[in-house]
Amino acid sequence: MAGEPQDDCLFCKIVSGTIPATIVRETGTTVAFRDINPQAPTHVLVIPKAHYQDAAALAAAAPELAADVLRETREVAQEEKLESYRTVFNTGAGAGQTVWHAHAHVLGGRGLHWPPG
């Protein structure tokens, strides 16, 4: 069912604490943790605790939860003292999505080129 934890999902395991992560923020509905393979000096992932396979599914099924995720990207950026930063939702394999639990990347601490590759 939409939103239910998935046994085979890496990020559901981070939510449950089965797999460790460097958690930087947690709310009732979201978790933010450092990316294991950072692409910038600050690279934090913000996820909903509930499982949705990607940002599109999250936005369609639970827009208030999607807003929680977006709000948390701002909180992370403030805590990390980022003046500029980029929020990315890779959606679909062709866009580079590799983990099928919706997540926002928060990237900052270096110059970020536009457009991205």
The catalytic residue positions are: 103
In the complex, the smallest distance separating the C-beta of residue 11 from ligand AMP, rounded to whole angstroms, is 8
Q: Is 117 in the site for ligand AMP (CB under 6 A)?
A: no
CB-based contact 86:41 (threshold 8 Å): no
Part of the chain binding ligand AMP (CB under 6 A), chosen from 1-9, 28-36, 61-69, 79-87: 28-36
Q: Is 88 in the site for Zn ion (CB under 5 A)?
A: no
Which of ligand AMP, Zn ion, none binds 90 (CB below 5-8 Å, type-dependent)? ligand AMP
Q: Which of 33, 89, 101, 106 touches Zn ion (CB under 5 A)? A: 101
Binding to ligand AMP (CB under 6 A): which residues in 29-48? 33, 35-37, 45
Q: How many CB atoms lie within 10 A of CB 80?
A: 16
Instruction: Sort 90 into a burial class: Cβ within 10 Å, 0-12 / 13-18 / 19+.
Output: middle
104 Cβ contact partners less than 8 Å away, ≥ 6 residues apart: 45, 46, 47, 55, 69, 70, 72, 73, 87, 88, 89
Residue 8: alpha-carbon gap to chain centroid: 18
- For residue 113, give the DSSP letter: -
What residues make contact with Zn ion under the rule CB under 5 A?
Answer: 6, 9, 11-12, 51, 101
What residues make contact with ligand AMP under the rule CB under 6 A?
Answer: 10, 19, 21, 33, 35-37, 45, 90, 96-99
